[in-house]
Amino acid sequence: MHPSLSFNSNDGSIHIASVEQPITHGMQKEVAASALATLFRCHTDHGNGYEWLAFHGLTFNAKPCGLSLCFHLGKLQSAHFGVALPNAPLESGWPTREAIDAEIFFIRQTLAQSFSRSFSTGREQFSWGTVWSVFDAKGFQASSGIRYAA
């Protein structure tokens, strides 16, 4: 059984079942990496102060989920995540627009329940940051995540 990913609507913290420590705004990269070590997938250092840690083996509302954490100068700034829906249509190995729209719809429904907001426009603002799930036309993909306020 893969651990589930959820969010705290009061502060935007990320909670992963089986991981005691919540993932929070400003968290040090080393602390997050240690807490999520069993789920680690890869690390990307852009050489400009931004680093990404990617994790897999999670679920979001019972669907397979991946999570990427963005750190600036070693502190958590944002998190991006996505789900894999069963039987999502592919074209040449890539999700179709129909599959992308289904992922966005699924994530928005789950976020609406978690945050008690509509997510009808795909974005919701909170005192601690922004949560979104939208179509990224440039990347032709679903884009979902949390960006914490400075």
pLDDT in tens, 18-62: 899 999 999 999 999 999 999 999 999 999 999 999 999 999 999
Q: How far apart are alpha carbons 67 and 100 in whole angstroms?
A: 17
Domain extents for the chain?
5-148
CB atoms within 10 A of CB 20: 7
Residue among 31, 41, 92 nearest 65 (CA): 41
Q: Which two structure tokens, joined as six digits, stand for 98? A: 């129909």
Per-residue confidence of the chain (150 residues) as pLDDT tens digits? 799 999 999 999 999 998 999 999 999 999 999 999 999 999 999 999 999 999 999 999 999 999 999 999 999 999 999 999 988 889 998 999 999 999 999 999 999 999 999 999 999 999 999 999 999 999 999 999 999 998
Residue among 52, 68, 110 nearest 85 (CA): 110
With tokens 């603002």, the residue in question is: 125
Chain center to CA of 72: 17
Residue among 57, 140, 118 nearest 132 (CA): 118
State the pLDDT at residue 1: 78
- The pTM of the full predicted model, rounded to 2 decimals, is 0.93
Q: How far apart are alpha carbons 77 and 25 in whole angstroms?
A: 6
